[in-house]
Structure 1
Amino acid sequence: MTTEPPPLPDATRAPDGPPAGVSAEDADHRLHPMSWLFVLVQQVKSFIIPLLVVLVAGRRGDNMYELWGLVGVGALVLVSLWQYFTYRYGVLGDALVIRSGLLERSLRVIPFARIHNVALQQNLLHRVFGVAEVRLESAGGQKPEAEMRVLKLDKALALEALVRRRAHAGDAPADGAVRDEAEPLLYLPTGEVVRLGLISNRGMVVVAASVAALFQFGGGDIVEDYAEQGVRQAVGWAGDHSYGTSEYAIGAIALLLVLLALVRLLSVVLALLQFHGFTLTGHGRRLTVERGLLGRWRTSASRRRIQAWTLTETVLHRLFRRRSLDVDIAVSQHAQQQRALRELAPVATPAACDDLVDRLLPHAAWTGLDWQPLPKAVWWRIFLPGALVTGAITALLYLRFGAPGLWLLLWLPWSAFKARKHARCMAFALGDELVAVREGWWSRHWRFAEIDKLQALRLGRSPLDRWLGSTTLFLDTAGANALGPPLRIRFLPDTQARALYDRLAESLSRRPLRW
Structure 2
Amino acid sequence: MEVIGEEPRRRLHPLSPLLHGAKALVVIVVALSWQTLREVGLGFFALMVLVVVIGAVIMSVVSWYNTGYHVVGHELRVYEGLLWRRTRAIPLERLQSVEVVRPLLAQVTGLAELRLEVVGGGKTEAPLAYLSVADATVLRDRLLAIARGVSDVVPAEGAAPVVGPSRVPGDGPVLLAVRNRDLVISQLLTPQALFLPIGVAFVVVQFAFDPSWSFIGVASTLTAIAGVLLQPVRRVLSDWNFRLRHGDRALRLRFGLLETRSQTVPVDRVQGVTATWPLLWRGHRWLRLTLDVAGVAGQDTSGGGNETDRLLPVGTADEAERVAGIVLPGVRLDALAFVPPPPRTRWFHPLAQPRLGVTLTDRIVATRDGLLTRTVLMVPYARIQSVRVVQGPLQRLLGVATVYADTARGRSAALRDRDLAEAWRLADDLARLGRAARAAAPDRGGAVVVPAQTVDPAAPPLPQPSG
Match for residue 350 of structure 1 among 317, 323, 339: 317
Distance in 1 between the 2:85 and 2:402 partners? 54
Matched, 1:458 2:388: yes
In the superposition, the TM-score normalised over structure 2's length comes to 0.72
Matches within 5 A, 1:264-283: 269-283=233-247
Q: Deviations over 1:438-496 (max 9, x none)?
A: 23454322112112222332223334433332222222333356xxxx63222322211
Code of the aligned partner of 1:451? Y
Matches within 5 A, 1:46-445: 73-100=53-80, 107-169=87-149, 178=167, 180-183=169-172, 184-201=174-191, 203=193, 269-334=233-298, 339-362=306-329, 364=331, 368-376=335-343, 378-383=345-350, 419=351, 422-445=352-375
> Are the equivalent residues in 2 in contact too, given 1:27–1:88 (CA < 8 A)?
no
Code of the aligned partner of 2:245? T
1:55: how far off? 10
> Are the equivalent residues in 2 in contact too, given 1:194–1:271 (CA < 8 A)?
no
SS state of the match for residue 349, structure 2? helix
Could you list the runs of 5+ residues in structure 1 that have no partner in the other structure? 1-7, 12-21, 172-176, 212-222, 234-261, 384-418
Distance in 1 between the 2:23 and 2:137 partners? 22
Q: Deviations over 1:243-269 (max 9, x none)?
A: xxxxxxxxxxxxxxxxxxx99998875
> Are the equivalent residues in 1 in contact too, given 2:114–2:128 (CA < 8 A)?
yes
Distance 1:144 1:465, change over 3 A: closer
Distance 1:97 1:423, change over 3 A: closer
SS state of the match for residue 31, structure 1? coil
Total equivalences in the alignment: 408
Distance 1:60 1:335, change over 3 A: closer
Code of the aligned partner of 1:272? V
1:131: how far off? 1.1
Distance in 1 between the 2:237 and 2:269 partners? 27
Code of the aligned partner of 1:196? S
Code of the aligned partner of 2:274? T
1:101: how far off? 5.5
Distance 1:353 1:469, change over 3 A: same
1:430: how far off? 0.7
1:149: how far off? 1.9
Quote the residue 2:428 is aligned against: 502
Distance 1:228 1:42, change over 3 A: closer
Distance in 2 between the 1:352 and 1:105 partners? 49
Distance in 1 between the 2:180 and 2:48 partners? 49
Matched, 1:35 2:10: no
Distance in 2 between the 1:456 and 1:371 partners? 22
1:165: how far off? 2.3
> Are the equivalent residues in 2 in contact too, given 1:204–1:267 (CA < 8 A)?
no
Could you list the runs of 5+ residues in structure 2 that have no partner in the other structure? 152-165, 212-225, 446-467
Code of the aligned partner of 2:433? S
> Are the equivalent residues in 1 in contact too, given 2:238–2:307 (CA < 8 A)?
no
Code of the aligned partner of 1:282? H
1:281: how far off? 2.0
SS state of the match for residue 14, structure 2? coil
> Are the equivalent residues in 1 in contact too, given 2:342–2:419 (CA < 8 A)?
no
> Are the equivalent residues in 2 in contact too, given 1:9–1:92 (CA < 8 A)?
no
> Are the equivalent residues in 2 in contact too, given 1:83–1:100 (CA < 8 A)?
yes
Q: Report which stretch shifted further, 356-365 or 308-317.
A: 356-365
> Are the equivalent residues in 1 in contact too, given 2:96–2:293 (CA < 8 A)?
no
Distance in 2 between the 1:78 and 1:104 partners? 17
> Are the equivalent residues in 1 in contact too, given 2:179–2:241 (CA < 8 A)?
yes
Distance in 2 between the 1:203 and 1:278 partners? 21
1:138: how far off? 1.8
Code of the aligned partner of 1:333? A
SS state of the match for residue 120, structure 2? coil
Distance in 2 between the 1:96 and 1:10 partners? 17
Quote the residue 1:412 is aligned against: none
Q: Which has the larger radius of gyration?
A: 1
Distance in 2 between the 1:138 and 1:328 partners? 13
1:304: how far off? 2.6
Q: Name the Cα RMSD after superposition.
A: 4.4
1:166: how far off? 2.3
SS state of the match for residue 382, structure 1? coil
1:102: how far off? 6.7
Distance in 2 between the 1:231 and 1:322 partners? 42
Q: Report which stretch shifted further, 263-272 or 275-284.
A: 263-272
